[in-house]
Structure 1
Amino acid sequence: MSSREDETLAHAAVQALTGQLALAPKPGLPDPRDLGARATRTDHCSLRWSAKALAPGLAAMAAAARRTGEPTPALRAELGAIGRSTEHSVGLAGGGHRGALWTLGLLVAASALDPAARSKDVCTAAKRIAAHTDKRAPRRASRGSSVSAKYGAAGARGEARAGFPHVRRALDALAGARRKGATEPEARLDALLTVMSTLQDTELLYTAGPLGLRHVQAGAREVLEAGGTTTEAGREALLALDADLHARAWSPRGSAGLLAGALFVDALPTAVSSRAQAA
């Protein structure tokens, strides 16, 4: 049974995911502008709705980590089982968020495992959990793992086992943009572009191949090199990249999930404070 602490962590993770969904314009990714487009209306609405369906599973993951107390193979297997059950529930609610569930699930469990961890220490704690193999996982290869093997990309599993380096990069980008006076949406978009500029996104590799991935990475770097979303040149470059990716139907979904993870970790001090006040 999950506690108030576990439910608070789950709520913070869902808030991070819906916060990522609310950003616009996100190159090649669903955002609030889609609500005015008949073709994609259901997609964005269902993504916002199904994000809420993650909460029970994330709370259960936090409870499992708190009960186990150590990053053991047994905990990794239990998190995997909870994750697969949660995927089914999310599918019934509209689908999506598989990559975000993997990232947020490990980070939520890491936060419960080490309640004193903050910022990048949470990524380190998640790394210790992800180091173990889930022996109960289905034997069939996923699309992401197949693409990772084909192109030598780290993929979601490699990202976690490396301690979520792109979540760390996003946290640095958030802090840097805020120091320079960016608004919160601008800081978050710059963090997303920072992830996009270097991530070997297996979704992009599957749909666009290595050349397409490099094209997207270069486009994200162009926005950042123009000064990011706080400058006129950066905003123009962002809109051009957005139009380009939507026209090509290329979606950097892996970057979106990692940004959600960074927003969760970034919000942890606030979540912990709210939890203490509620107690």
Structure 2
Amino acid sequence: MKDIFLTGKNANLEAILANKDWRSSFLSDLTGTKISVKLNIPGKLKNNTAMKHIFLTGWKILLKKFNVLEIHAFPDLLTGSEGLLTVSEEQTKAKQIAIKFEEEFVLGRLFDVDIVGNDGKQLSRTSLGFSKRKCYVCTDDAKSCARSRKHSVHEIKFAINKMYDDYLKQRKNELISFAQRALLYEVILTPKPGLVDPVSNGSHDDMDIFTFIDSTISLRNYFEQLFDLTINWEKDLQELFQESRILGIKAENEMFLATKNVNTHKGAIFSLGILFIAEIIHEKTDENIQEIVKKMLSNLTKKDFQDLSKKENLTAGEKQFIKYGFTGIRGQAEAGFPNVFDLALPFLAQTTGSRNERLLDALMEIAEKTADSNLIKRAGNIEILGEIRKKITEYFALGGAKTKVGKAYLAQLDEEFIAQNLSLGGSADLLILTIFMGVLRGVI
């Protein structure tokens, strides 16, 4: 169990009292139903990475529950993370929402969500007929336990650590399920030009949909290890990336064992692993996820592509870098996956139709705008990119996957790809990332 009280700088009484005065003054200038959100952490240590993570997690959930008029967040205060906001709900309704959050969210007991009147007084739970807040350790009234010092500091801290541990286990399983869902959603889409789906092996004679299912299941251990590594990480992000690559090599071995030496997800192990890590860092810090990725992978292509002339066995990506200057998925990753965040996700958010239709259109949008390294490798030339882009333009002109003619055109394109041994493998990997982020952001 993670102990959130091990690191951090203590806040003295003077700072805590000054913060209280500042909060009161700040709230007095706001209009509307005023809400103060902070953590109820005993002792002098009020903030560190874990406590900030707890606050940001609950803060984001709370913001979705209210019709927010004004937001002010201060997650890095020495006296504890806190947020101040105004909402359109009247005070009684706002307090009911706050109480429900405190009682139902696994970390809700750690939050003080106070509805503050213009007179500076807080609306109490008991005035609305709700019971008093329960103790962290037992089911008795929290204030009574505190006054009588019923529980030791060790007992209280253990209870808080247990709450955080329960949340981390829950979130770990959620993120892993999202990652595996992204891998499975991609493979079951049909029809996809040259790619494996439930109907066809596409241009891949050595694999089928069952191979991908086996591969996806084998990667659960990889994502578990990535979560454990990242949630406890406090050092440089580039060092974190290097540690994750070691786990990636192990994951590749587990994948090959599950697929009988068939490469189903080597690209996804690299790229989805990066976004999986970045999402966890984002949830801990609230930093922009693309900026996190860029920090992790700074100078990646320079490091990975140096001294290629001395290397005997070049990968397809390395050969394309030498011949065309294409940096492939490494370049996409180093730039913060612009074809995911700036292209595919906004596109997907605007699509309509069934999930299969929306994701097929997203795949083709990605393929139209991406120099797909797998496609170039199989075609043996760069001219294939222009040819495929013309076909994709025609596909969208026909209405895309939502129309019968568009769907028929895509099936025809699939047959052409199979006949020519072509595949959109690189675009499929970017679609997996798009699905992962789409699920996380509620786009899918």
Q: Which of the five TM-score ranges fits, normalised by the shorter chain?
A: 0.7 to 0.9
Q: Tell me the alpha carbon deviations over residues 29-60 of structure 1, each in whole angstroms, 9 at most, x when there is no partner.
A: 0000027x9x9585321122111111211221
> Unpaired segments of 5 or more residues in structure 2?
2-164
Structure-1 separation of matches of 2:409 and 2:422:
17
Structural mapping, 1:90-105, within 5 Å: 90-94=255-259, 95=262, 96-105=264-273
Letter in 2 for 1:125: I
- In terms of fraction of residues, the more strand-rich structure is 2
Provide closer, same or farther for how the CA distance between residues 268 and 116 of structure 1 changes in structure 2, counting only shifts above 3 A.
farther
Structure-1 separation of matches of 2:235 and 2:267:
24
Contact 1:223 1:238 in 2 (8 A): yes
Larger Rg: 2
Q: Equivalent residue for 2:19? A: none
Q: Equivalent residue for 1:275? A: none
1:177 Cα shift?
0.8
Contact 1:73 1:133 in 2 (8 A): no
Provide closer, same or farther for how the CA distance between residues 74 and 233 of structure 1 changes in structure 2, counting only shifts above 3 A.
same
What is the root-mean-square deviation of aligned Cα atoms in Å? 2.9
- Matching residue within 7, 11, 15 for 2:181: 15
Structure-1 separation of matches of 2:417 and 2:291:
33
Structure-2 separation of matches of 1:162 and 1:156:
10
Structure-2 separation of matches of 1:268 and 1:226:
31
Structure-2 separation of matches of 1:202 and 1:236:
26
Provide closer, same or farther for how the CA distance between residues 116 and 241 of structure 1 changes in structure 2, counting only shifts above 3 A.
farther
- In terms of fraction of residues, the more helix-rich structure is 1
Which secondary structure does the structure 2 equivalent of 1:91 belong to?
Answer: helix
Q: Equivalent residue for 1:147? A: 320
Letter in 1 for 2:223: L
1:113 Cα shift?
0.9
List structure 1 runs of 4+ shifted beyond 6 angstroms. Answer: 134-137
Letter in 1 for 2:267: G
Structure-2 separation of matches of 1:117 and 1:93:
36
Give the TM-score normalised by the residue count of structure 1: 0.85
- Matching residue within 103, 106, 112 for 2:280: 112
Structure-2 separation of matches of 1:158 and 1:177:
27
- Matching residue within 358, 367, 373 for 1:202: 373
- Matching residue within 219, 227, 230 for 2:391: 219
Structural mapping, 1:1-279, within 5 Å: 4=169, 5-34=171-200, 40=205, 42-69=207-234, 72-94=237-259, 95=262, 96-115=264-283, 121-131=288-298, 133=300, 141-168=314-341, 169-178=343-352, 182-208=353-379, 209-269=381-441
Contact 1:6 1:60 in 2 (8 A): no
1:121 Cα shift?
4.2
Structure-2 separation of matches of 1:117 and 1:249:
45
Structure-1 separation of matches of 2:304 and 2:228:
20
Give the TM-score normalised by the residue count of structure 2: 0.55
1:136 Cα shift?
10
Give the length in aligned residue pairs.
264
1:110 Cα shift?
0.3
Structure-2 separation of matches of 1:253 and 1:259:
10
Letter in 1 for 2:271: T
Structure-2 separation of matches of 1:150 and 1:41:
28
> Unpaired segments of 5 or more residues in structure 1?
271-279
Q: Tell me the alpha carbon deviations over residues 176-231 of structure 1, each in whole angstroms, 9 at most, x when there is no partner.
A: 113xxx11111100000000111111111111111223222322222123221112
Letter in 2 for 1:207: R
Structure-1 separation of matches of 2:193 and 2:236:
36
Contact 2:367 2:424 in 1 (8 A): yes
Which secondary structure does the structure 1 equivalent of 2:351 belong to?
Answer: helix
Q: Tell me the alpha carbon deviations over residues 68-99 of structure 1, each in whole angstroms, 9 at most, x when there is no partner.
A: 24552211110111111111110111131111
Aligned residues: percent identity? 28
